[in-house]
Homo-oligomer: A and B are copies of this chain.
């Protein structure tokens, strides 16, 4: 693991998610750019001292030298955005597979380079767009693919948060500080932090590519340097349209990502606050609530849950599904069966970066921009 030192929330989540299914073991880490802090985290995690490194450079150097059955198989990068690319490139070049937290890179150029590296090396990247790890999101994708709602016509996706309603980056809140800093986050604020989740889940469920967008990025809180509120009109490759809302100044909101997909013959609705349900609506029929863990679900939902219906799984389990599916992929490579290959790969990471970059352009120039 690179990053995830003292006080890191997302580092701890990555470790928990990786550990959950007993298929991945944390064997080493460079948890901080300060040697002392890295060592402290390593000790807390019970790692042997010799595998806690003072920098990722040192880590790659030493791990590469270990016997294949001892050295790490997989690197997780959980640092701020501007610190994704350099270790990622190095990792791939040295033959390691990668997990990177979203958005994949600082800017689009870096994303393009990673895409090329993956193509060249055969190493793969899993980008942790958590929400497509939920079983009922996978069920939604499978139902759209099966034609249960007919051709997709309209999509609404929203991701309201309230945690940046005040200018807490000026009050010492660490995560807010880097998320709102263009030098660490890149050109996008809310659009890059959460808009990209909404974009990913939209393409994932519909199986359709977004081909052009019209974005309005707002800086609502005075003095903020990056957008904290975004609305994006979407046009899909099949002519369907959509509306994407991502706001971090939706005062009082937590994290309820919600998506509704309307087809010619029906609609699907999912929201994270009720993550184990998927609603199916068809004209002149009672609405249906499909539930995680049920016997009637498709293969993807079943393979990505651990409990019977009524024993709710949550966000950590969704996260863990990406790790588990990626671990399966690494183990089995091309032999991996389709349902298990289900994780957000470098292409999904690249499209997220493309979306961010185009949204910034569209908003700046007040016009539709192609993806």
Contacts and interface: CB of A to CB of B under 8 A. Distances in A.
Contact of A283 (B251, B262, B290, B315): B251
A208 interface: no
Interface in A288-315: 288-291, 293-296, 306-315
A243 B156 CA distance: 12
Contact of A282 (B153, B243, B251): B251
A196 B295 CA distance: 27
A247 interface: yes
Interface stretch (A33-41, A265-273, A333-341, A349-357): A265-273
A20 interface: yes
Contact of A294 (B233, B264, B284): B284
A71 interface: no
A87 B295 CA distance: 35
Interface stretch (A49-57, A104-112, A252-260): A252-260
Interface string A201-217: 00000000000001010
B249 A262 contact: yes
A165 B151 CA distance: 12
A27 interface: no
A254 B296 contact: no
A286 interface: yes
A308 B291 CA distance: 24
Given A20-B19, A283-B251, A220 B315 contact: no
Contacts of A233: 216, 231
A218 B241 contact: yes
A287 B284 contact: no
15 contacts: A16-B22, A16-B306, A149-B251, A166-B283, A231-B241, A251-B283, A252-B262, A252-B267, A253-B281, A254-B308, A273-B310, A276-B314, A286-B288, A286-B296, A288-B288
Given A251-B263, A252-B283, A286-B289, 20 more contacts: A19-B19, A19-B20, A153-B220, A153-B249, A153-B251, A161-B310, A162-B283, A165-B262, A165-B264, A166-B283, A231-B233, A252-B262, A275-B312, A280-B286, A284-B294, A285-B296, A287-B289, A312-B315, A314-B317, A366-B368
